[in-house]
């Protein structure tokens, strides 16, 4: 159940981000800087929203949560978290070291569903 909510939130976030990116591409170069900042803010909010939907801390990103799980298990996410493992592999393909670099030690305490870190 938890993994399904996490997946639904992630898919919704990605779809919305792609829609926003398409709209940004249609605007002139002058507006590009403003919309890049806007897009970054929206993507961060969606990331945190997805983590909250999955029972995590509302201020923590999915990447930070994945990084904490990964760090607690010697640098790999165990297969008992299959969706987390798949998402992390995708992020690693795009940006090597992303989840470990994204760890925010100041967030995560308010998670409803705490993973054994």
pLDDT of residue 1: 63
Stretch 72-87: mean pLDDT: 90
pLDDT of residue 76: 92
pLDDT of residue 57: 92
- Pick the more confident residue, 13 or 53: 53
pLDDT of residue 99: 92
**pLDDT surpasses 60 at 65:** yes
**pLDDT surpasses 60 at 48:** yes
- Asked if residue 65 lies in contact with residue 51, where contact means CB atoms within 8 angstroms, the answer is yes
């Amino acid at each position: 159940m938890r993994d399904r909510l996490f997946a639904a939130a992630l898919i919704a976030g990605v779809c919305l981000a792609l829609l926003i990116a398409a709209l940004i591409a249609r605007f002139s170069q002058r507006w590009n800087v403003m919309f890049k900042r806007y897009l970054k803010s929206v993507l961060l909010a969606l990331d945190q929203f997805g983590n909250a939907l999955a029972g995590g801390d509302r201020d923590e990103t999915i990447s930070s949560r994945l990084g904490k799980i990964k760090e607690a298990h010697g640098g790999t996410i165990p297969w008992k978290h299959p969706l987390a493992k798949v998402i992390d592999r995708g992020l690693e393909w795009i940006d090597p070291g992303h989840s470990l670099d994204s760890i925010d030690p100041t967030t995560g305490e308010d998670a409803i569903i705490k993973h054994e870190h």
